[in-house]
Each structure stands twice: as C-alpha cells, then as structure tokens.
Chains A and B, each alone.
Chain A
Amino acid sequence: MSQNMKFLVVDDFSTMRRIIRNLLKELGFTNVDEAEDGVAALAKLKGGGFEFVVSDWNMPNMTGIELLRAIRADADLKHLPVLMVTAEAKKENIIEAAQAGASGYVVKPFTAATLDEKLGKILQKHGVPQ
C-alpha cells in the first residue's frame, strides 16, 4: 500500500487522535490530518484529497456513525474506506456500523499490529494494491 496515502483521523479527544496518528506513523503512514468531530471531518473530506478515514464513534455534534452515513450518501465520498474505532464492543453497535457501510471495526485499545492488519484487509477489499 502507498505510504503516501492520506488519512483523516476523527476523534473529539485530542490524545486519542495523537495515539492513532502515532500508530499510523509507526506503520509508515505520515500523511495524516485530524478532525475533532463528524462535522469538521465532513468539511475536510469535501475539500478532497483523502483516501482513508479512521473515525471514533462517540463524538459531540456529529457522531462517527452519522459521519459514516453521510460519507456513504455522498457521491464523491462514498467509495472512501472508513475504519470505525471505538470502545463500544457491543453487538448491536457492530451490526449498526456494518449496516451503515463501515469498512472495518476496531475496538480500543489496540496495537499497531492490529491496526495494520485491519488496514491491510480493508485496502485489499477496496482493491488498493499492497
């Protein structure tokens, strides 16, 4: 996969954005932008250039699942891979995410290896050459 791939990390807790950014950096992805909620994320995504979204679930203003639905409903954005990051390890949440079109689901806390594996699968599925 391209190390230049541009990520958008969406989380209202800046420490968490930093953790995810660091994990991505560890995997060699350095082209990472951040947004603090779904509203900010959507605005940035509409600006274009992003190739991957990693989003928290529980956020004020616009939650991760709402963001996911908005992405899937937008003709320009609907092909973007979206990895949902959350501590909500609840069955109904996973179903909800899958139904809304999440490309993957990872439960906090996770390691770089877990993230790498999830990214790999998602990118494979989205047809990005490894």
Chain B
Amino acid sequence: MSDFAGMEELLQDFLTEANELLSDVDNKLVELEKHPDDAKLLNDIFRGFHTIKGGAGFLNVEELVKLCHLTENLFDRLRNHEIPLNAELMDVILSATMGVRDMFGHLERRALPHPADPALLAALKEGVEGNLGKAPPEAESAPEPTAAPAVSVGETRIAQPGDEPDWQRLYDGLLDRAPAEAAVVAPPPVHEVQTRGPGRRASDQPEGEPARAGRRDNDKVVVAQETTIRIDTNRLDQVLNLSGEIGLAKNRLNCLRTDILAGKTDGETLRALDEAVSHLDLLVGDLQNAVMKTRMQPIGRLFQKYPRVARDMARQLGKNVELVLDGEETELDKTMIEELGDPLIHLVRNAVDHGLESPEERRAAGKPETATVKLSAQQLGDHIVLSISDDGRGMRPDVLKQKALEKGLIDSDTAANMDDKHALHLVFMPGFSTKDQVSSFSGRGVGMDVVKTNIQKLNGRIEIKSIVGQGTTFSISLPLTLAILPVLVVRIGTQPFAVPLSLVREIITIRPDEVQEVSGRATLLVRDEALQIRSLAGLLGWQQERPPAYGVLMQTTINSFILAVDGFVGRDDVVIKPLEDIKPKGVAGATLSGDGSVVLVLDMEQLLADPPIEKRNDLFDMAA
C-alpha cells in the first residue's frame, strides 16, 4: 500500500517539478565550484532547497524536510558570507543533493524515505556552524551526530508551525491585533491533509479519480511517471482549435457529399469538393504537427544532469574537465528524450574516461589543463543532431584495428581493407573496449554497442569524427519524432515497400552495361565511388524476376550501397503499425498507402544483417 494514498497526483507533480529543480541545483553547484562567491548562484541554490522543503512539508515527508532544511541553512549562511565555501563543505553539499535525490527515489516508489545518513546530517550541522574544513582531522574523519550540540540555527528555524507562537504574537502586535489570537497556531497538518485528499481531488478532476484508484489497487504506481507530460497550454489550445476547424471542414464535405450523391456534379460543386479536400489536407497536416508538438520537450531537461556526471567522474579520475552545454532549448519527442538518457550518459562518461588525457599529459602536449567536453543539440531540417565533442587525445584507427584483431572481432583481411572511418566505428562492435582494464565508469554495464543499438532503435544514426591529438566528436542524428516516419516508397513487381527516407541519399538509374563486378560482387561506380549493388528482392529472399531498373543510394552507419528496385511510388509520411504475430525478416511494420493498400516498412539494419553475395550475372542476366 502506498504511503501517499490520496495524494497521488500531488506527489507526481511534486516529483516532476522537484526533480527539475534538483538537476538545476546540481548544475549550479558545478558552477559554484568555479565561482564560489557568486551571490546569484548561492541564492538560487538556497531557493532550490527551500522550495523543495516547502513542497515536502505539505506532503509530510519529514526526512526530506529535515535534510533540505539543513542544507538550506548552510546556503543561507554562505550567501550572507557568514561562512566560507571550502572543498570539504562542497563535498558535504554534493552528498546532500545525492541524499535528496535518493529520497526522491523512495517517493517515486511511493514510500516514505528513510532518515538521511546521520553522518551527513552531522556534517551539514558542522558546516552550518562553520566548523567544517578547519576542525582537526580526527574530528572530521568520524563526525558523530553528538559532536554537534546546540545547533542554534537548525533548531530555531525548523518550520514547524508549533514553533512560532512568539513570532505570531510579535507579528500580531505589529498589526494591532488582540494578543489572544496568538494562541491559535496551526495544528499539525499530517492527518488532515491525508483524509481530505481524495475529496479535494475528486472535485478537481472528476474522471481522473477512478483510474487513479485502480492504479493504486494494483500497486503499479511506478509506471505513472512515464505516462505524464507537461504541456504548454498554448500548444493544447492549438490542437483544440485545429480539431474544431477539422470538424467544420468535415461538415462542408458532408454537404458536398449529399449534393454529389443527389447527382449534382457541375463544375462548381467539384471545384468546391477539391477545395474542401485540400483544406482538410492542410488542416490534418497542421493537426499532426500540433499533436507532435505537445510531445516535444526541451532537451535541456536531459542535458542538465550531465555537468554533474562529468564533474564527479573527472574528479575521481584526477582530470579537470568543463562540460559546455549548447542548444538546450532544442525540442525533441518526449519518448526519445527518455531513451537518450542512457546513451548520452555513456558517451559523456566515455569522453571523460577514454577521450581526455590526464592534466600532465595535456600539459606535455601544450594543451590547457582543463579539458572541454561540449554537449550540443541543434535542429537541422527535420532532424535533431546531438553531438558530444572532447578536446582530448583523439582515436587512432590503427590502434582500434589492432585491438579488434586481438579480440578476434575482425580478421586481418578485413583490417587491411578497412578505411579509417570504418575503423573508428569498430568501437561499436559488441565486445570492444579500448582500455585493457575496464574502468569502473565507462565499462559499467553497457558498452558502445548498446549505445549504437539504442540510437538505431530511435531511427537515429551515430557518426564519429576524430583527429589524433585534437579530440573526438560523436554525432547522433535523430528524426524529430517517432510517431511519423518520412519514407520513400519503392516497388518490387507490384508490391510496394517503404524505406526510411533518412537513409536515402539519392536515386539513380541503373544501366546494366555500367555495372561491374568487383571481388565477385555487382558494383556500380557513382562519381568515382564504387558502391555495391544489393537487390531488395535478393535481401528479402525473393526470386529476382527482372533486372532492376533503379537504384536507391542508401547511407547507413556502416556503409553506403545501392538498393536495386523495380520502380518508385513516391515519398510519403507514414505511421508504422507493428506486426504483432508475424515478423518477416527485415520488416519493421506495416502502413496503409493512400489508396488503401498495405505497404511494408523495411528495417534496413535487420535486412542487411546477413546479405547474400550477388554477382553481376545474378542481377542482370536472367535466363530470358
């Protein structure tokens, strides 16, 4: 049973908002290390803890109130320049934010958090007293809770309503009130808030209540967080307006249908029909965009976490790093932001751990000791490009090849023929790790292969650019949304297939006499680039019935090649429906075309997993 029965929605709101606040605080703490006297930063951090405390008070999460309260007091003294900020104090503060995050974790599971670590609370109290960082070492190493007696600041300001009768009287005196009123202080809020909860919200959102009750009964409250989203009301209004207009357009079409069914097919009626359909077309497109926009969230929410990650890790590795964020306002589909969390964290860790040199190495190389890792996002056309660049040692293709050889991931033939670009991509192979000893950071759990797989699941691409001695950049290119996929529809015979447009570079005509055979494979020279031809029919395991007439120049993360097809239908924006029971190899799902026929949407990655070798003759010399 949840500890928060009846306060489900409130708790959810609190967690969403407080998590953002805490991430913001985390970032500001990283900033604070650089500018320890920045009054605005100190004030903002103070307010962060203060606000979280205020919300926690209403939810009766006493342990969280206590922890935030102490931390807030510390910042109150810091911002008033009553105590100096030193490294030890900073560590205590960072542990306190971790403690707060930990408690959020409990709350997310609908459980009341345990009391914070007594050592942490004691250290905070010491900090408030200004004793941290100058006390004798033996006192620091074992901070006893009892070592901080008479914590004046902490005790006098605990925000218990019962603690304030004196002030109340004083205040009433100032307002010329009868002192008798001073006796009335707020009763402890605990029971009242809980018992009132459901009634209050029932009137708030009538249809929400049964669903919530059901969820509680099943004790499946944890999923709740992923299913809520904060939307700018302007965007919702846009959706509402458009659906209203679509309703009007539908009415217009209804009228025209009645007219046409009654035999009225003069030029004017048909023109009106044409206009109404075009108008509807426009509105539906707008509505799709507007709905998509409701799911868009600024990527800054995700980026916020990383300065702290980079800082903590650099500190433990003895490196100096500054994480620079750019384009935080860039918006991306909510699902994608969630899915990107792990891959990005891995790339940031990877950059700090493997990409960056130690301060000594950097000095020797004539670089500034503090390394820079830049995390940026920008929208390019209908794609979002995220990049993680470091100014570290760069990646050496020959070393990567050697490693892959040693680990038996590739054979020497492949290594010899492999160009630098492909060599860099070796890091995405399962089982590849450039450091002989897996470090406690980058090597934890997931590898770069998982990063790549996750990005590909989002229909994204990941590229590496690296210059030895200057640094490495990982760029991730993602479609704006997963809901609508722009595709190129191609044909084999009469069967249409959809290919993700993001992979299509260009369309070419295949002339059989220009097709050559290179190392036993059908190849075509396109602007001096030798590209292998792979027929879609062959990839699907179909019989090639006639020589393919057209080629689609495809660019995947691994390579470029020409997908040979019989013809084109055109480009389209489709919504993919997954195939539940049958899963043919290389098919991601199905969609309906404008004329109502079923189009299979291809999963190129899967399709290319085990391609047959096609000689020139297989494709162009049919036994005709």
Is A75 at the interface (CB under 8 A from chain B)?
no
Instruction: Return the contact of B14 from the options A15, A25, A26, A99 (Cβ within 8 A).
Output: A15
Which of B196-204, B300-308, B421-429, B445-453 makes up part of the contact surface? B196-204
Stretch at the interface among B169-177, B272-280, B518-526, B580-588: B169-177
A101 (CB) vs chain B CBs: closest residue: B175
How many chain B residues touch A (Cβ–Cβ < 8 Å)? 41
The answer to whether B187 and A114 touch across the interface, beta carbons within 8 angstroms, is yes
Asked if residues B17 and A15 are in contact (CB atoms below 8 Å), the reply is yes
Q: Is A107 a contact of B187 with CB atoms below 8 Å?
A: no
Contacts of B60 in A (CB 8 A): 109
Query: In the complex, A25→B197 CA distance in Å?
Result: 12
A89 adjacent to chain B (CB < 8 Å): yes
Q: Among the listed B13, B171, B203, which residue makes an inter-chain contact with A94, where contact means beta carbons less than 8 Å apart? A: B171
**Chain A 93-123 interface mask (CB, 8 Å, partner B; 1/0):** 0110111000001111111111001000100
**Contact at B186–A111, with CB atoms within 8 Å?**
yes
| Structural contact, B186 and A22, CB atoms closer than 8 A | no
**Complex CA–CA separation, A22 to B56 (angstroms):** 16
Cβ of B184: which chain A residues have Cβ within 8 Å of it? 117
Residue among B21, B58, B184 having the largest count of chain A Cβ atoms under 10 Å: B58
Given contacts A15-B17, A111-B192, A113-B187, contact A87 B58 (CB under 8 A): no
Whether the pair A16, B54 counts as a contact (CB closer than 8 A) is: yes
Q: Which residues of A contact B181 (CB under 8 A)?
A: 121
Contact of A15 with B13 in the complex, beta carbons under 8 Å: yes
Is A14's CB within 8 Å of the partner chain B?
Answer: yes
How many angstroms between the C-alpha atoms of A108 and B52 in the bound complex? Answer: 12
B18 close to chain A: CB less than 8 A: yes
Question: For A56, what are the chain B residues with a Cβ–Cβ distance below 8 Å?
Answer: 54
Total residue contacts A-B, CB cutoff 8 A = 106
- Partner of A58 from the list B51, B158, B193 (CB cut-off 8 Å) is B51
Q: Binary interface profile of B, 312-352, with partner A (CB < 8 Å = 1, else 0)?
A: 00000000000000000000000000000000000000000
Q: With a CB–CB cut-off of 8 A, which chain A residues contact B51? A: 12-13, 16, 58
- Contact pattern, B 8-43, Cβ under 8 Å of A = 1, otherwise 0: 001001100110010000000000000000000000
Binary interface encoding of chain B residues 160-189 relative to chain A, with 1 for a CB under 8 A from any of its CBs, else 0? 010110110011001101000100101101
B175 touches A98 (CB 8 A): yes
CA distance in complex: A59, B51 (Å): 9
Q: How long is the Cα–Cα vector from A95 to B168 in the complex, in angstroms?
A: 10
A115 to B63, CA, bound (A): 25
Does B290 sit at the interface, judged by CB under 8 A? no
Residues of chain B lying within 8 A (CB to CB) of residue A26:
196, 200
| Contact across chains for A98 and B174 when beta carbons are under 8 A apart | yes
> Are the CB atoms of A108 and B192 closer together than 8 Å?
no
- What A residues does B10 contact at CB under 8 A? 15, 18-19, 22
Q: Tell me if B192 and A95 are in contact (CB < 8 A).
A: no
Tell me if A110 and B186 are in contact (CB < 8 A).
yes
CB distance from A102 to the nearest CB of B (A): 8
Closest-by-CB residue of B relative to A19 is: B58
CB-CB contacts of A6-24 with B at 8 A, as 1s and 0s?
Answer: 0000001111101100100
Asked if B55 is an interface residue, CB under 8 A from chain A, the answer is yes
A98 vs B167: C-alpha distance in the bound complex, in angstroms? 11
- On whether A15 and B196 interact (CB within 8 A), knowing A89-B164, A111-B187, the answer reads no
- Interface pair B164/A108, CB less than 8 Å apart: no
Which residues of chain B are within 8 angstroms of A49 by Cβ–Cβ distance?
none
A110 to chain B, nearest CB (A): 5
Interface string of B42-56 (1 = CB under 8 A from A): 001001001101110
User: In the complex, what distance in Å separates the CA atom of A117 from the CA atom of B54?
Assistant: 20
Q: Given contacts A87-B50, A109-B57, A121-B181, are A114 and B161 in contact (CB under 8 A)? A: yes
Q: How far is the CA of A106 from the CA of B196 in the complex (A)?
A: 20
The distance from the CB of A127 to the nearest CB of chain B, in whole angstroms, is 15
Assembly CA distance A99 to B21 (angstroms): 32
Q: How far is the CA of A100 from the CA of B50 in the complex (A)?
A: 22
Interface residues of A in 72-91 (CB under 8 A from B): 86-87, 89-91
Q: Would you give the shortest CB distance from A37 to chain B, in whole angstroms?
A: 11
* CB proximity of B101 to chain A, nearest CB, Å: 17
**A112 and B184 alpha carbons, distance in the complex (Å):** 14
Give bound CA distance, A84 to B480, whole Å: 44
Tell me if A105 and B204 are in contact (CB < 8 A): no
Across-interface contacts of B47 in A (CB, < 8 A): 12, 58-60
Given A15-B55, A58-B51, A99-B174, answer yes or no on A25-B157 (Cβ-Cβ < 8 Å): no
Q: A87-B54, A107-B186 are in contact. Are A112 and B161 (CB under 8 A)?
A: no
Given contacts A25-B203, A90-B167, 4 further A-B contacts (CB under 8 A): A16-B54, A22-B10, A108-B54, A114-B189
Going nearest first, the 10 A-B pairs with the smallest beta carbon separation are: A109-B57, A98-B174, A114-B186, A109-B58, A94-B171, A15-B14, A87-B159, A15-B13, A111-B189, A13-B51
B residues in contact (CB < 8 Å) with A: 10, 13-14, 17-18, 21, 44, 47, 50-51, 53-55, 57-58, 60, 157-159, 161, 163-164, 166-167, 170-171, 174-175, 177, 181, 184, 186-187, 189, 192-193, 196, 200-201, 203-204
